[in-house]
Amino acid sequence: MLSVEQNQRVTQTCGNTPAGDLLRRYWQPAALVDELAGDRPAVSVELFGEQLVLFRDQKGEYGLLDRHCSHRGADLCFGRLEDGGLRCPFHGWLFDIAGKCLEQPAEPENSKFYQKINHKAYPCIERNGIIFAYLGPGDPPPFPSFDCFVAPEEFTFAFKGHIDANWLQAVEVGIDPAHASFLHRFFEDKDPDEGYGQQFRDSTDEIPVTKLLREVVRPIIEVEETTSGMSIKTLRDLGNAGMHVRVTNLMFPNAIVIPMSNEMTISQWHVPINDQECYWYAIFTDFERKVSRQEMRDQRLELYTLPNYKPLRNRTNAWGYDPEEQRAQTYTGMGMDINVHDNWAVESPGSIFDRSNEHLGTTDKAIIAYRKLLLSAIDAVALGKAAPKQGAALKGPLSVDTIGPADNWEGCWIECDMARRDRSPWAKEI
C-alpha cells in the first residue's frame, strides 16, 4: 500500500514531476520504425504529455521536435520534408533534426534572426525496430547492451500496443508472476508446435506451460536486486517432475524482460503517453532462429488496429467479455489472447489506481521491492544525484523458463541460459 502522496509521486510523469524527471533520464521508445515506413516519414508522438513530431530526414536520421513551430505555433506534423529538414507550411521556417532553424524564407535577405532560434529537439537512436529518444537533461547515457539490442535485426521483431491506463499499472502486471496461473489459465493445452509467436504456448521438458501454470497455483517467488534492476525467480514445485523455474526481470526503470518460449524472450517497455495512457513497446528476440516477422505481425494485427495500435477489445466494449464463455471455456471470458487479459488487469482498476486502497499479499513481493527502488531513485534524482542502473555495461538479462531435477534444481536456470547461448549464432555469454 502507498499513501496518496506516494501514489502521486510514482504515477505522475507529465510536466515538472519527480517521476517524469527520473524516466526522462533513460532512453525511451518513441515509435516503431514501421510507423515511419511510408512515403512521408513523419508522425505525431506524445511522451510524458509533451506534444512532439518525429521525422526522418533525407540522410535517414531521426529527429524528435516540439510539435508546435517556434514561429507562431503551427503544427509541424503537417510539415514538408525537404531541404535537409522539416519545413513549416505556414511561413516556411525549416528545422533540422537537432532543432536548428536553417531558413526563414520570408525574413529579409541578410537577416540572421534564424540563428537565434533553438527549436526544442531530442536525440534519437534506432535499435532493432524501435526509435528510442532521450528527453532528459545533458548528454544521453550510453545505450545498454541488452540481448534485444545486441541481436542482429533478423533475430528480432518489434511491436507496440496502446494501454488505456497509467504506465505503472502496466509495469506492475509485468512483475506479478502469480497471475499467470489465473488470468492466463487455459483449460486445454495446445500443441506447442502451433504456438509460434505466442506467450505461454511452449512446453518445458515436455510439460506444456499452460498445464503447469494451471496445476501449481502457489509459486514461491524470490526477488533479487541486480545491476540492471531486479531478477524475479518463480518456483513451481512439480513433485517428481522437478522444479519449474521461471526467471523474469525488471529492467529499471520501466521495462521487463521475460521468456516468451524456450527460444524467444520479450523485452517490453511501458512508456507514458500521458498520466492516463501508455504504450507497451516490445522487442521479441530469438536466440537461435530468424524471426518470422510477418507471422508475428499478422497475429498481433488481429487485436491491434493501425495507425494508433489500439486494441479492438478495450475498456469501451468491456474487453469483449462474455459470461457464457467465462462459465464454459476461459477463465476471463475475454477470449484466448493473453494481451487482452493483461489489458483488462492493467486498465480495469481505473486510469490511475489509488494504491492507498490496495491490500498487498506475499505474491506481490516483486511489486513491493520495485516500488522501493523506484521511490528511492525518484528521491535521488530530485536531490540532484545521478539516475541509477544505466549504461553500456548492462547485459542480458538472464530470462528463462525451465525445469530442474527435483533434488538438484538450484542453478538450473544458468545452465539453461548457457546452453541456449551456446546454440545461438549471436548471443555471447553473460
Contacts with ligand FES, residue ranges (CB under 6 A): 69, 71-72, 74, 88, 90-93
Could you say which of Fe ion, ligand FES, none residue 22 binds, taking C-beta under 5 to 8 angstroms by partner kind? Answer: none
- x-or-dash string of contact with Fe ion, 19-58, rule CB under 5 A: ----------------------------------------
Question: At closest approach, how far in Å is the CB of 71 from ligand FES?
Answer: 3
When the beta carbons of 74 and 375 are compared against ligand FES, the nearer one is 74
Q: Helices (H), strands (E): how many in the chain?
A: 10, 25
Beta strands in 273-417 (DSSP E): 278-286, 304-305, 310-311, 395-396, 401-404
Are 148 and 265 a contacting pair, CB within 8 Å? yes
Query: What is the Cα–Cα distance from 165 to 11, expressed in whole angstroms?
Result: 10
Does an H or E element contain 54, and which?
Answer: strand 50-56
Question: At closest approach, how far in Å is the CB of 104 from ligand FES?
Answer: 8
Question: At closest approach, how far in Å is the CB of 69 from ligand FES?
Answer: 3
Question: At closest approach, how far in Å is the CB of 133 from ligand FES?
Answer: 22
When the beta carbons of 7 and 248 are compared against Fe ion, the nearer one is 248
When the beta carbons of 90 and 143 are compared against ligand FES, the nearer one is 90
| Residue recorded with cell 524482460 | 257
Q: Please, what is the end-to-end C-alpha distance for the chain in angstroms?
A: 36
Could you say which of Fe ion, ligand FES, none residue 65 binds, taking C-beta under 5 to 8 angstroms by partner kind? Answer: none
Question: How far is residue 139 from each of residues 19, 31, 125, 281, 319, measured CA to CA in Å?
Answer: 19, 21, 13, 24, 42
Can you give the three-state secondary structure of 112-139, one letter per residue? CHHHHCECCEECEEEECCEEEECCCCCC
Question: At closest approach, how far in Å is the CB of 85 from ligand FES?
Answer: 12
Query: What is the Cα–Cα distance from 226 to 166, expressed in whole angstroms?
Result: 26
Q: Which residue is nearest to Fe ion (CB)?
A: 342
Could you say which of Fe ion, ligand FES, none residue 375 binds, taking C-beta under 5 to 8 angstroms by partner kind? Answer: none
Question: At closest approach, how far in Å is the CB of 72 from ligand FES?
Answer: 4
When the beta carbons of 69 and 178 are compared against ligand FES, the nearer one is 69
- x-or-dash string of contact with Fe ion, 309-328, rule CB under 5 A: --------------------
When the beta carbons of 67 and 160 are compared against ligand FES, the nearer one is 67
**Alpha-carbon radius of gyration of the chain:** 23
Question: At closest approach, how far in Å is the CB of 211 from Fe ion?
Answer: 17
**Residue 209, SS3?**
helix
Question: How far is residue 53 from each of residues 6, 9, 270, measured CA to CA in Å?
Answer: 32, 28, 20
| Residue recorded with cell 502451433 | 194
Could you say which of ligand FES, Fe ion, none residue 342 binds, taking C-beta under 5 to 8 angstroms by partner kind? Answer: Fe ion
Could you say which of ligand FES, Fe ion, none residue 91 binds, taking C-beta under 5 to 8 angstroms by partner kind? Answer: ligand FES
Query: What is the Cα–Cα distance from 96 to 62, expressed in whole angstroms?
Result: 10
The three cell numbers of residue 383 are 536531490
Could you say which of Fe ion, ligand FES, none residue 90 binds, taking C-beta under 5 to 8 angstroms by partner kind? Answer: ligand FES
Could you say which of Fe ion, ligand FES, none residue 304 binds, taking C-beta under 5 to 8 angstroms by partner kind? Answer: none
The three cell numbers of residue 363 are 505474491
**Residue 283, SS3?**
strand
Positions 188 through 207 that interact with Fe ion (CB under 5 A): none
When the beta carbons of 105 and 350 are compared against ligand FES, the nearer one is 105
Question: At closest approach, how far in Å is the CB of 118 from ligand FES?
Answer: 15
Tell me which DSSP letter residue 287 carries. Answer: S
Helix, strand, coil distribution of the chain in percent, nearest 5:
30, 30, 45
When the beta carbons of 89 and 350 are compared against ligand FES, the nearer one is 89
Question: At closest approach, how far in Å is the CB of 55 from ligand FES?
Answer: 15
Positions 328 through 357 that interact with Fe ion (CB under 5 A): 342
Residues in the chain: 430
When the beta carbons of 91 and 190 are compared against ligand FES, the nearer one is 91
Could you say which of ligand FES, Fe ion, none residue 423 binds, taking C-beta under 5 to 8 angstroms by partner kind? Answer: none
Name the maximum alpha-carbon separation found in the chain: 84
Question: How far is residue 252 from each of residues 16, 225, 239, 389, measured CA to CA in Å?
Answer: 21, 10, 34, 7
When the beta carbons of 360 and 392 are compared against Fe ion, the nearer one is 360
Q: Per CB under 5 A, does 172 bind Fe ion?
A: no
Question: At closest approach, how far in Å is the CB of 97 from ligand FES?
Answer: 17
When the beta carbons of 98 and 183 are compared against ligand FES, the nearer one is 98
Are 343 and 319 a contacting pair, CB within 8 Å? yes
Give the interface with Fe ion as residue ranges (CB under 5 A): 342
